[in-house]
Amino acid sequence: MRIFIYSIVVWIFQLFLLPISNAQNSLNLQNDSVTYNLNPYLKMLKDPHRSLSITQIQSPVFQNRFVSHPDFSLGFSQAGYWLQFTILSPPDKSWILSIHNPLLVHAKLYIPKGDSGFQVQEWGSQTTKLYSYKYPIFSIKPQSATPQTYYLYVWGDGPLDLPVLIESETFFQKKDHIEQFWQGIFYGILFVMAVYNFILYVFLRDLSYLYYVLYLILIAFFLLSLSGYGNEWLWSSPSWWSDRAVFITGNLTAIMIVIFCLQFLHLRKTLPTWYKIGRYFIIVTVVEVILGAFLLDLSLNMLLLTITAAIFVIIILSISIKSYQNGNLSAGYLLLAWTVMLISVGIAVLNAFGLIPSNTFTLKSLQIGSVTDVILISLALVDRIHSIQMQKIQIEQEKNNAEHNQKVKEEILATMSHEIRTPLNAVIGFAKLLEKTNTTQTQSDYIRHIHESAENLLVLINDILDLSKINAGKVTFEQVEINLQECVRHLFETLQFQVTEKKLEMKADIQEDVPTLFLGDPVRLNQILLNLLSNAVKFTPKGSVTLRIRTLKLEKQQIALLFEVEDTGIGIPANRLSSIFEGFTQASDQTTRMYGGTGLGLAIVKQLVEMQGGNIAVKSHPGIGSVFSVALPFYRVYSVTEKNETVPASFPETPLVLLIIDDNPLNRLIAQSTVHNASSNAKAELAGSGQEGIELLKKTEYHAVLIDLQMPDMDGYEVARHIRTHLPDKQHIPLIAMTASLDDRDHEQALAAGMHDIVTKPFEAGVLFKKIFKLRANLQNPGNEPNQK
Ligand code: ADP
C-alpha cells in the first residue's frame, strides 16, 4: 500500500514541484542538528546494463551525460543509477548519508580520497552490510574543507525511490534512539490489542475478533518489514525471507483485512456481490503469494504487490461505504480507519521526500495512523458488541411482550369461555329439562334443535380452548391407571344415542393380548377416541362403525397400542387426506352445511397423539369408508389391586341428599333438576351463597356438597377451606367442585382447598353419582385414598 501511495505522491511531485526547484551545485553542511535533503544537489546517469565502472563514468563522455534533475522515483527499474553530488563540510566532521528506502537491493558510495581515487562503502544483500540498519546508510568524514564530489551507485527490485538525506552522526543517533522508543511503544500497543482481542475471541467465539488479531499480527510484521526494522531486529538479512517479507506480509495483511470485512460486515447476506468479489480477491492473492514466494522474480513481486494494494484499497473502501449506506453503522468506523490509513501513508511519503517539514507528527505519521486504525477497528468491534447487546435486549423485550400477550390471550379465552359456557349450560340444562315435559311434536322439535345447537357451540368452545392450551404448551399428561374396558364402555354409552338414531351398527374388536389395565392419561385417550368415533358416526349414513384395538408392542415396561376406527361412511377424497389434520379444515366445502363441525377436532387429536409420542394416520376411499389409526405408547401396571367396587346399575339405591351451593339461580335450578330427574332416591337442597351453604351444612346432614367455584363474596375455594377448618364434624364429607371452566389449574386449586373432585358443568347425574359413590366408599374405608379424577 505504501508503495502504491509512494508512486502516486512521487508522480504528483514530479509533475508540479520538481521543475521549479533550484538545482544547486554543492551542499554546504554546517548545522549539526538539521537533516539535509541531498536530492536537489544530485546529478544522475543511467547504467542500463549495470556495466559501467567508476573509472568509466569519470571520463568526459559520461560526465556530460549526467542529468541535473534526476527523478526522485525511477519506477520499477532494474538498471543501475550513478548519482553524483558535491558537499562542503568542516574537516573531520562525521556525517551519515542515508537513503530512506529499505527496499533498495544494492547501494555503493564512492568517497573521494584526496587525489588517489575513492574509498568504497557498500550496502545491500549482495555484499556484506557495512551497517546492520533498516535502510542504506553510509558514514562520511570529509578530510578537507574544500568541496568534495561523491558518487552513489544504486540498483534495486522494487520502485527505485531515492530520498537521500545527510545529517551529523550525533543527530542521526539521537533521532534513531527516539525513533526506536516510539517504535517500541507502537509495537507494544499492537501486542496489547492483539492479546486483548484474542481474550475477547475466546469468550465471545466471534470469528471477527480472531481475524482482527491475525490482522494485528500481520500488519505488525508488514510494518517491521517495510520499515526495515525486521531486518534490523528480527531476522537475518540478506535471506530468502528478508527479500520477500514485505511482499508476503503485505499481501497477507490485505487478505486478512478483506476476510475481516467479509465476516464483520456480514457481506454474504448484506452485499452478496461484494462478498464474491472479496472472495475472488482472496483466492487470487493467495495464488500470487505462493507464486511470488517460490517462482517469480523479486522485482515482479513488488509490481504485483503494488497492483494488489490498489485493488485492495478500492475493495475495502467500496464495501465499507456500501455497508455504511446500507445502515451498518459499525462500517462507519472501518471507513474512517481506512481513510486514516491512507492519509497517514500519504503524510509519511510526503515527509520522506521532504515536501512537508519533519516533526514528531509527520515522522511518526505511519505509526500514529496505524495505532488510530487499530483503535478505530476496535471501536467498530465494540460498537458491534453494543448493537448485539441492544438486539438481545430487544429480543428479550419482544419475548416478554409475546409471553405477556399470550398470557392475556389465555386469560381472555378462559374468561370468555367461562362466561359463554355459563349461560350455555343454562340453555342446555333447560333444553334437557324441557325435553322431558309434555310438549307438542313441533315444540319438541324446536327444543331438540336448541339442544343440539347449544351442544355444538359447547364443543366448539371446548375445542378452541383446548387448541389454545395445546399451542401455549399448557397441556400436561397424567400417568394414572386406565381401564380399557371401562373406557370403551363409556365411549359406546356416550355415542349410543346417535348410533341408534342413525340405525348404525357399532362394534368393538379388542385383541385378546391387549392388557385391560395400563398407565396413561384416560381423559386424553377418551377425548382422542371419542373424536374419531363421533366423526365416524357423523360421516356414516348407513353401515357400521368399528373400534379395533391391537397390541403393537408388549414389553416389560412399555406397551404400544393401535386403535383403529373404521367406518363405512362417505370417505374422504385423496387430495384432502393430508389437510384434514390442519385446524379449521374440512374434507369438503359442504361439510359444515351438511354435517356441522368446525374442522378443529382432528387438529387437536393429532397434536394430543403426537405430544404423547404416538402417531395418527388415515386411509379412506370416497363412498366406501375410512380407517383412522392411532398408535400410542403406555406404561404397564403390575401391582393390580382389583377394586371390588361395583357400581350398581341403578343408583343411588339408598337415599342421597346433596347440598348445591351456586350463586347463579339458573345453574342452581338445572343442577337440582338434573339430580332429581336422575333418581327418585336423590334429593338436592340449594344455597345461593357460600355463607348460606355453610349455615345449612351446620344444621343438616348431607351426603355430599357441590360447590360452584366462581362466586362473589366467598368463592368455592374459600367455602371448602372454611368447611375443612371450622366444621370439625364435616371433615370427611365429600366436597365436589362445579365449574364451567376447563382449566386444569382449577382442578389443582380445588384439591388444594380441600375438595375431593370436580365436575364440569353441565354435569351428567350418572357421572356425579358415581363420583359420590366412590368417594363415600373410599372415605368409609380409610385404606383407600379418595379418587381424585
Ligand atoms: P369436524 O368434524 O368438526 O368438521 P374434524 O377435524 O374432526 O372436524 O374433521 C375434519 C374433516 O375431516 C371433517 O370435516 C370431515 O370432512 C373429515 N372427516 C373426519 N373424519 C371423517 C370420517 N370418518 N369420514 C369422512 N370424513 C371425515
Q: Which of 578, 580, 627 to mutate to test the pocket of ligand 1 (most atoms within 8 A of CB)?
A: 580
Classify burial at 238, counting beta carbons within 10 Å of its beta carbon; exposed 0-12, middle 13-18, buried 19 or more. middle
More confident residue, 358 or 458: 458
pTM above 0.85, yes or no: no
Which protein residue's CA is at the shortest distance from atom 9 of ligand 1? 599
The predicted structure's pLDDT at residue 682: 83
Looking at mean pLDDT, say which of 229-243, 266-280, 647-661 comes out highest.
266-280
Residues 241 and 225 sit within 8 Å (Cβ to Cβ): no
Give the pLDDT band of residue 652 (cuts 50, 70, 90): low
Task: Supply the residue whose CA is at minimum distance from atom 11 of ligand 1.
Answer: 586
Write down the pLDDT at residue 303: 82
Residue type, 502: K
Q: Is the CB of residue 541 less than 8 Å from the CB of residue 507?
A: no
Express each pLDDT in 600-643 by its tens digit: 889 999 999 999 999 999 999 999 999 999 999 999 876 444 34
Cα 684 from Cα 434, distance rounded (Å): 19
Best substitution site from 570, 584, 602 to test ligand 1's pocket, by max atoms within 8 Å of Cβ?
602
pLDDT at 127 over 50: no
Q: Which of 502, 584, 591, 593 to mutate to test the pocket of ligand 1 (most atoms within 8 A of CB)?
A: 591
Segment 15-37 shows an average pLDDT of 67
| Strands in 335-412 per DSSP E | none
Task: State yes or no: pLDDT of 4 exceeds 70.
Answer: no
Query: pLDDT per residue over 692-709, tens digit each?
Result: 999 999 888 898 999 998
Ligand 1 centre to CA of 586 (Å) is 6
Specify the residue with its C-alpha closest to ligand 1, atom 17: 587
Taking residues 41-70, report their average pLDDT: 88
Around ligand 1, the residues with Cβ closer than 6 Å are 535-536, 539, 567, 569-572, 580, 586-587, 591, 597-603, 626
For residues 301-327, average pLDDT: 89
Mean pLDDT, range 105-119, rounded to an integer: 84
326 alpha carbon – ligand 1 mean position (Å): 51
474 Cα: distance to centroid of ligand 1 (angstroms): 25
* pLDDT of 646 over the 60 cut: no
Nearest CA to ligand 1 atom 19: 535
| Residue with the larger pLDDT of the pair 259 and 32 | 259
Q: Which residue puts its alpha carbon closest to atom 2 of ligand 1?
A: 597
Confidence grade of residue 655 (pLDDT, cut at 50, 70, 90): confident
Pair 45, 62: CB distance under 8 Å: yes
Q: For residue 742, what are the CA distances in angstroms to 482, 611, 747? A: 21, 19, 9
The mean-pLDDT minimum among 104-113, 127-136, 559-568 falls in: 127-136
Spatial CB neighbours of 53, under 8 Å, sequence gap ≥ 6:
none
How close is the Cα of 457 to the center of ligand 1, in Å? 17
Query: Nearest Cα to 178, choosing from 39, 38, 33?
Result: 33
For residue 571, the CA-to-ligand 1 centroid distance in Å is 9
CA distance 788 to 765: 18
For a ligand 1 pocket test, name from 572, 620, 621 the mutation site with the most ligand atoms within 8 angstroms of its C-beta.
572
pLDDT-wise least confident of 142-151, 390-399, 402-411, 492-501: 402-411
| Statement: residue 748 has pLDDT above 70 | yes
Q: Residue 645: pLDDT band by 50, 70, 90 thresholds?
A: very low
Which atom belonging to ligand 1 lies closest to the Cα atom of 587?
A: 16
Cβ proximity of 715 and 738 under 8 Å: no
Range of lowest pLDDT (212-221, 259-268, 344-353, 452-461): 344-353
Angle between helix axes 298-325 and 272-294 (nearest 10 degrees) is: 170
Per-residue pLDDT at 302: 78
207-238 per-position pLDDT tens digit: 989 999 999 999 999 888 877 788 778 887 77
CA–CA distance from 186 to each of 334, 372, 392 (Å)?
20, 11, 36
Q: Which atom of ligand 1 is nearest to the CA of 604?
A: 6
- Contacts of 263-267 with CB under 8 Å at 24 or more apart are 263/207, 263/208, 263/211, 264/208, 264/211, 264/330, 264/334, 264/380, 264/381, 264/384, 265/319, 265/320, 265/323, 265/328, 265/330, 265/331, 265/334, 266/328, 267/319, 267/323
Ligand 1 pocket test: which of 460, 586, 590, 627 has the largest number of ligand atoms within 8 Å of its C-beta? 586
When pLDDT is averaged across residues 506-521 and rounded to a whole number, the result is 88
Residue nearest to atom 7 of ligand 1 (CA): 601
CB 543 within 8 A of CB 567: yes
pLDDT for 249: 94
Ligand 1 centre from 551 Cα, in Å? 26
587 C-alpha to center of ligand 1: Å? Answer: 6
Q: Ligand 1: which atom is nearest the Cα of residue 600?
A: 6
Atom index in ligand 1 nearest the CA of residue 463 equals 3
Give the pLDDT confidence of 384-434 residue by residue, as tens digits: 888 888 889 999 999 999 989 878 877 787 777 778 888 888 888 888 888
| Mean pLDDT for the chain overall | 83
Give residue 383's Cα distance to chain centre: 18
Rounded CA-CA distance 739/759 in Å is 7
Q: What percent of the chain has pLDDT over 70?
A: 87
